[in-house]
Amino acid sequence: MTSIISFYSRFKDDIRAGRKTITIRNEAESCYQPEQVVRAITNPEEEEIATLKITHVEPITLDQLNEHHARQENMPLQELRELIPQIYPNESRFYVISFQVTD
């Protein structure tokens, strides 16, 4: 059975085009492992985006986010640092999940 990872709909074109190559998740969503193949879908529509291969998972804090992460997310660093706490309020430890599109 293939695992699923969901993304907001606004990210689907960036994922498909390879412009977004990481996602930052909280501990509850940090279960992905390198080499794992997952099905990416939109949230909440559940539209198929692509099949992804997880390449790396590493812990991170908001303060450690840098321009490299922002480029991988395809957004400005300031926007990234504001977005993560909106999605995960009252959390301080996160995980950078790197991936590549396989199809």
Active-site hit among 2, 12, 21, 23: 23
46: left (phi over 0), alpha (psi -120 to 50) or beta: left
**Active site annotation includes 73:** yes
CATH of the domain at 29: 2.30.130.30
CA distance 73 to 94: 15
Q: Residue-wise pLDDT tens for the chain (103 aa)? A: 579 999 999 999 999 999 999 999 999 999 999 999 999 999 999 999 999 999 999 999 999 999 999 999 999 999 999 999 999 999 999 999 999 999 7
Tell me which residue range forms the domain holding 63: 3-101
53 is catalytic: no
Cβ neighbours of 9 (radius 10 Å): 14
Q: Which of 20, 35, 45, 53 is catalytic?
A: 20
Number of domains observed in the structure of the chain: 1
Element (H, E) at 59: strand 48-61
Residue 103 pLDDT: 79
Q: Is 4 helix (H, G, I), strand (E, B) or coil?
A: strand
